[in-house]
Amino acid sequence: MKFITAIILTALTGFIAGILSFSPWWGFAITSFLVAILVHQKGGKAFLSGFLGIFLLWAGLAWWMDMKNNGILSHKIAQILPLNGNSLLLILITGVVGGLVAGFAAMSGSYLRASSKK
């Protein structure tokens, strides 16, 4: 139950951090860090919950934006990058990049909480 709660909280707080205009692009890493401190999990589970929360958020938002413009923008960007114009691969890579940043931030928060108890 903690795992699913951490995923939902990470995605929700990451979305809110993205909406705030004064937050930098990596603002979701701070929220992932704080969620991992509040929801106690071991390092691996914290990484996975942070990764999945932001991966689903970023990939979902990228897919939604892609659908709104009929895939024109993502296809052009995928042609610039070495993806052979594959929009789906671009969306997955977007999710993985955000997920890795959030996962490592959540794992750091989990380890900080564990070290402060000792």
**Residue 118 confidence (pLDDT):** 64
pLDDT classification of 44: cutoffs 50, 70, 90: very high
pTM exceeds 0.85: yes
**Residue 33 confidence (pLDDT):** 97
User: Tens of pLDDT along 70-114?
Assistant: 999 999 999 999 999 899 999 999 999 999 999 999 999 999 988
C-alpha–C-alpha distance, residues 18 and 13, integer Å: 9
> Domain spans of the chain?
2-117
Question: For residue 118, what is the DSSP state?
Answer: -
Cβ(58)–Cβ(10) under 8 Å?
A: no
C-alpha–C-alpha distance, residues 29 and 11, integer Å: 11
Mean pLDDT, residues 18-28 taken together:
86
